[in-house]
Chain A
Amino acid sequence: MAELVKLNIDGRDIEAEKGALLIEVARQNGIEVPAFCYHEDYTLQAACRMCLVEIEKTPKLQVGCTTPVAEGMVVRTDSDIVKKARKGTLEFLLTNHPLDCPVCDKGGECELQDMVFRYGAGESRFVERKHHVDEKQWSPVVYFDAPRCILCYRCVRACNEGMGVGALGVGNRGAVSEIIPNHDDHLECDECGACIDICPVGALTSGSYRYQTRPWEMEHVGTICTHCADGCKTTLGVRNDEIMRGNNRDRSGINDEFLCIKGRYAFDFTKHPERLQSPMLRTANGHEAISWSKALDIIATKFSTVKLAGGKFGVIGSNHTTNEENFFLAKFARQALETKNVDHHRTGDLATLFDALSGKNNALATSADLYNAKAVLVIGADLSQQHPFLAFQARANVRHHNGHIYAVTTGEVREDQQAVASVRVQKGGELAGVESLREKLKAEGDLVVVFGDAVQGDALRKLVAFGDSLGIPVKYVCLVDYSNSRGAFDMGVTPKDGGLSREEMLAAADLDVLWVVGANPLKNTQLVSKKAFVVVQDLFMTETAKQADIVLPAASAYEKSGTVTNVCGEVQKLAQAIKVMGPKTDLEIMGLIAKEMGLNLGIWLPEKVFAEIRKAVHGYDVSPAQLAVGPAATMPLNGRVAALPGAIQSSGDTLFTSGSLTRYSEILNSVMEAPGQLYRGKGQ
């Protein structure tokens, strides 16, 4: 328990932890101290001088953002001197700030506007000429308008400290100081938009959102990003069923203010012109649009016939549809189609991990554990590329808790910058690399081990044995791709009990039906069976859809509700942001097929299906009330898990790719050629 001190702010007696920052203590007690440069996540700057307060027995006003509280301190945040000082600072700030709030993107959400409203700057006494600089485009994502910038350096810190990129700097000096990008006139960076989001004014704006709409014209829907497995919350700004922007400015998700380019901007695929609008039937002349009833009729008839004939089904689920959809699909396959041939593209060896951990409690790390653990060991993965939020957590851990990062990888990774030790290995040599860290790791208080698909099968068992031998608490994260790989596994979309794996289905010459829900297995593979009737549910004409007999247009994650489970096993709720006209959710499609076949698989509403999941799937007994407020950690089966046939391979997506969706996101394509490669070194 930290030492407490008593102090007085604005006449109120307050107890606070010794050394806590005055601004925080005031805020915790409901006393607002205005601030521009202060940001609790990043280093202190004391640059804006907005937070000046009066402290008894101190001759000058003091900055609340860097002053630690001390016993007996008497503070005034509301005296005339303080009020005057704030006004004076605002007056200074406004001397060079353009008065273009009516057209500024930040209008309505601008901290400067708020402050002027609250603390006043009076009539400006400034009659001189302003220093004008033209707006610049630094990347497809980032625009910079220097005159609006108040030089709070939040963007610089967010990029440097938060992202570990260090793409922004400060150029020039004095009154003409200006934020500068890392390549003369453009940025080569993560394009994450963190700098834009953290900017208190409208100096940094996003290419996709600028001049499109105003904050109060939008509805704000908090949902989960559909791209990688980290499960960041993204709050989508929606106007007229169009997503205008994404952010997590209210910091309500597991990801705090973090989002990468995909979470913040790559929602644009939803309105891509090639989006499938109606069911398509393959004919001699290619695919032709047909009605839903016709499509459902054809599918139901075919499924029923094949089932009756004892034919061979292959069912491939998705690592980005919801838990409810995957659960329903697995149930459909096993109960109705009576097939064990169920699988999805598995990108991490969850089965072996769960088996190796059987009998242990508390052995799976949550995303918060990466932030809190004394040490994080990353094996065989480029975390910043593939799991940007987990990487952010580890960086924040170092920043806020002096956590230790270790990296065992085949090539350079951004984690090296902060790692206490980085080991380079040949592919397959990961365990030897880990072994070389044994003594260091043993000395850590606790450890989170994060590993990619390089560690699977036997190697994974050895890794767990290594963890056991350290004598410290160890938790694991098995890295998987896409927004619901973990959910697909948990929902049983796997060839357990002797079913065919994905590869085996595609290779089976006697396959009668291939049913693909939200996956693209034929991207680089040929379907061997010539007779197979192929049904594909997807958003776009993927390689697999092109070979389908019937393609059904599916809704995306932003167009439906349900739950997904992230890489750390945290279940979170999707919220429907927009309605679509042509496509239907995969759950509804499956429900309609079932209905058409005359099956009773239960009501296909997400809430009803989730109620079933709570009962049927180990570790998912999470109440809707709990889900409504945030993520719930699931627990995997605490017993033996049988090995599964088939390959496990990550698709190696990067910050700027998202599987088959990549090509339908204009924003991802527009920036891809810029960085080419992830920006790594932030220097000394």
Chain B
Amino acid sequence: MAKQLYNPPSPLETRVLSKRFGLEGSETLDVYLANDGFKAFLKAKEMTPEAIIEEVKTSALRGRGGAGFPTGLKWSFVPRTSPKPRVLVVNADESEPGCCKDRLLIEYDPHQLIEGILIASLAVDAHVGYVYVRGEYRYLVEKMDRAIEEAYARGYLGDNVAGTGWKFDLHTHSGAGAYECGEETALLDSLEGKRGVPRMKPPFPAVAGAWGMPTLLNNVETFSAIPPIIRDGGAAFAALGTPKNGGTRLMCLSGHVNKPGVYEIPLGFPMMKAINELGGGMRNGKKLKAVVPGGSSCPLLKADECDIPMDYDTLAKVGSMLGAGGMVVLDEDTDMVKFALRIMRFYQHESCGWCIPCREGTTWLRKILQRFSDGHGRREDISLIGELSKNMLGRTFCALGDAAAMPTISIVEKFTEDFEKYLVAKEAVAV
């Protein structure tokens, strides 16, 4: 019997990670086991750690948390033989505006995530892991707790995982409201009970992470992709996508489309096809104005820049990013001043405050954009917005400053006329 999903699946999807979504009881171990569950772990148990990592490299899987770093390479950085114990951390902080996919992976298929974590634990010889879940996802903490409990009860976690003698403990850890805690090192500080302020790198978490121990940290979706990769081979996964951009990913389509939803599509899927077919076209027959390709941190693309395949490298070529899969579609009626303001309000609210350019820059920009949107903009503000954003760009302690600057620069440069409209309106009133 099928279960109602938040949005109906589409025949255009390639469902690898989400293949169990919609099965009744998909969150239970029984259903998981009946549908290929733990085959990959048992296979991995017979492999050497090097072979597991090699397989992940072959899959061309890139981190799904935003930065798109090659996962296999990251795993190979963890000093497996360090005298300090290794720690696994799952980044389930999902807070990037536009993104809502990790939620589903935990809600519908927590055991796939657990299996992915277990395989990673074999690869880096770790025996404990934490799933850091944003505080707002309390129901997911509970779902994850239940899945973990079930896995312990049935011997898929604990001292003798799946009867192999492998020992692994897994825990959830709830955040309490902070976007910045999605940044991997801020997350580690938060996991240690501190303010979510990022850490200096180096040392990278792989070398000294949680409590100073070597730490492998990946996004929920990244870990969830591991069981299919090991089960069916890295090459098969890679083949689904484009070169260096392996596999499928969950794309969160939102905004002015007829059928918003989370869809699993292969890397390289055409952006226009995503809008027009997967998304059922523009709402109310409006024209496309812009696309946020991967979440609010990514520079926006104008309508005429959107005829591209969605993979990391192409997006980089057009000056944007695939981010964490949050694709937001904007129609011709969208007020880009208000849109820029809303983005800046977000980053200003979420800036941890640690470094000057981000703390003061987002605050200043927010104030200018607010004033602008209130109808008190000055012509010189338009260039000031761009300049101040560039004064943040690349100069902040962590990437949040960049995340605030990049979309803002793209908006003020690509949609200057939206800003000018405010001036015209004001100048007209002044006459």
Measuring CB to CB, which residues of chain A are less than 8 angstroms from any residue of chain B? 44-50, 52, 59-61, 66, 85, 88-89, 91-93, 95-96, 125-126, 128-129, 131, 150-151, 170, 172-177, 684
Contacts and interface: CB of A to CB of B under 8 A. Distances in A.
Contacts of A66: 200
* 10 tightest A-B CB contacts, nearest first: A177-B353, A88-B391, A128-B367, A92-B360, A175-B363, A60-B394, A174-B351, A174-B353, A47-B355, A95-B360
Interface in B180-213: 193, 195, 200
B353 A150 contact: no
B353 A173 contact: yes
A92 B357 contact: yes
B178 A93 contact: no
A61 B359 contact: no
25 contacts: A44-B200, A45-B354, A49-B396, A49-B397, A50-B356, A52-B395, A60-B395, A66-B200, A88-B357, A88-B395, A91-B391, A92-B356, A92-B359, A92-B360, A92-B364, A128-B364, A128-B368, A151-B356, A170-B195, A172-B353, A173-B353, A174-B348, A175-B360, A175-B362, A177-B353
Interface residues of B, number: 29
B265 to A, nearest CB: 32
Given A128-B367, A170-B195, A177 B359 contact: yes
B349 interface: yes
| Chain A at the B interface: SS class | loop
Nearest to A44: B200
Given A91-B391, A174-B349, A47 B354 contact: yes
Contacts of B193: 684
Contact of B352 (A44, A92, A174): A174
B350 interface: yes
A128 B361 contact: no
Contacts of A45: 354
A151 B394 contact: no
A46 B359 contact: no
Contact of A174 (B350, B371, B396): B350
Given A46-B397, A49-B395, A96 B363 contact: yes
A175 B348 contact: yes
Nearest to B398: A46
Contacts of A61: 394-395
B384 interface: yes
Contacts of B391: 85, 88-89, 91-92
Nearest to A96: B360
Nearest to A89: B356
A150 B360 CA distance: 10
Contact of B397 (A47, A88, A173, A684): A47
A547 B136 CA distance: 74
B395 A93 contact: no
B395 A128 contact: no
Contacts of B200: 44, 46, 66
B353 A175 contact: yes
A125 B354 CA distance: 23
B355 A48 contact: yes
Contacts of B361: 92
A60 to B, nearest CB: 4
A49 B363 contact: no
Nearest to A63: B397
Contacts of B195: 170, 173
B359 A175 contact: yes
Nearest to A97: B360
B350 A89 contact: no
B355 to A, nearest CB: 5
B360 A128 contact: no
A526 B162 CA distance: 83
B178, B350, B367, B384: residue with the most chain A Cβ atoms closer than 10 Å:
B367
Which of B350, B359, B367, B368 is packed against the most chain A CB atoms within 10 Å? B359
Nearest to A52: B395
Interface in B355-379: 355-357, 359-364, 367-368, 371
Contacts of A48: 355-356
Given A44-B200, A172-B353, A89 B395 contact: yes
A50 B355 CA distance: 10
